Amino acid sequence: MTPKELIVFDLDGTLAPSKAPMRPDMSKALAALLAKKKVAVIGGGSYEQFSRQFVGRLKVPKALLPNLFLFPTTSTSFYRYRNGWKKVYRKVLKATEKKRIMAAFDEAFAKTGYRHPKKHWGPIIEDRDSQITFSALGQAAPIPAKEAWNKKSDVRPALMRIMQRHLPDFEVRRGGLTSIDVTRKGIDKAFGVRQIKKVLKIPIANMLFVGDALYPGGNDYAAKKTGIDCIPVKDPSDTKKVIKRILTAR
């Protein structure tokens, strides 16, 4: 494996189970990696979600945290550590844009006859300021419930086709097992990689992207448009093996 200066990780399904806390063994692996490399984490979740799921579970010496960079809501915001986590930028949707997105969701639900499940865990539609996200069972739903919905009840393709007709100037894409993320046009993992290049001044050739959805249609697939070297993984256990290979590469 060619040595890289920066390792870019997807969050859900790569460093942690979908919307679930990162496990201690992954925290340990990342601590070892941060001692040698810069690390960026990019995902569709809000900064608050990153804090609960990732940052709050990360046990590393504070001296290593300046090597870690957070890009929530698909890089429409950026946080770095400078005596605490500080916001560098945040690209917020206008009120008129949010209204259009909400109306498109309503239209898609009406035309497909979709009804929200009676049992859900948290808001079905979440305003993340720079992104609007539909989560069929709520963000806090247990993974088995999400997996079951994904296999038996996934209506996202039908919803997305309708929404894309109403929102041609926005990105409407799948996120994780049960979500639809809507952002401004051009906001995807390719945008994220280019933002990382821009703000960190690191050439894409010196980066490596690790994600669980690098297949066509997956929410990591767009990263490939940048020419970044990629390693697909199946789950966090697979990611730990990749980190080990990075650490032992010469």
When pLDDT is cut at 50, 70 and 90, the band that residue 217 belongs to is confident
Quote the CA–CA distance of 235 and 239 in Å, as a whole number: 6
Residue 176 sits at the vertex; the CA angle it makes with 205 and 13, to the nearest 5 degrees, is 60
Contacts of 77 (CB under 8 A, 6+ apart): 47, 71, 87, 89, 90, 91, 130
| Amino acid at residue number 79 | Y
> Going from the N-terminus, what domains does the chain have, and what CATH number goes with each?
6-91+187-248 (3.40.50.1000), 95-184 (3.30.1240.20)
Q: Strand 77-81 to strand 85-90: parallel, antiparallel, or no bridges (unpaired)?
A: antiparallel
What percent of the chain stands above pLDDT 90?
A: 84
pLDDT in tens, 178-207: 999 999 998 889 999 999 999 999 999 999
If phi > 0 it is left, if psi is from -120 to 50 it is alpha, else beta; for residue 83 that is left
Among 37-41, 122-126, 200-204, 214-218, the least confident range: 214-218
Residue 77 sits at the vertex; the CA angle it makes with 71 and 78, to the nearest 5 degrees, is 55
What interhelical angle do 95-112 and 156-166 show, nearest 10? 130
- Rounded to two decimals, what is the model's pTM? 0.84
User: Would the pLDDT of 152 be above 80?
Assistant: yes
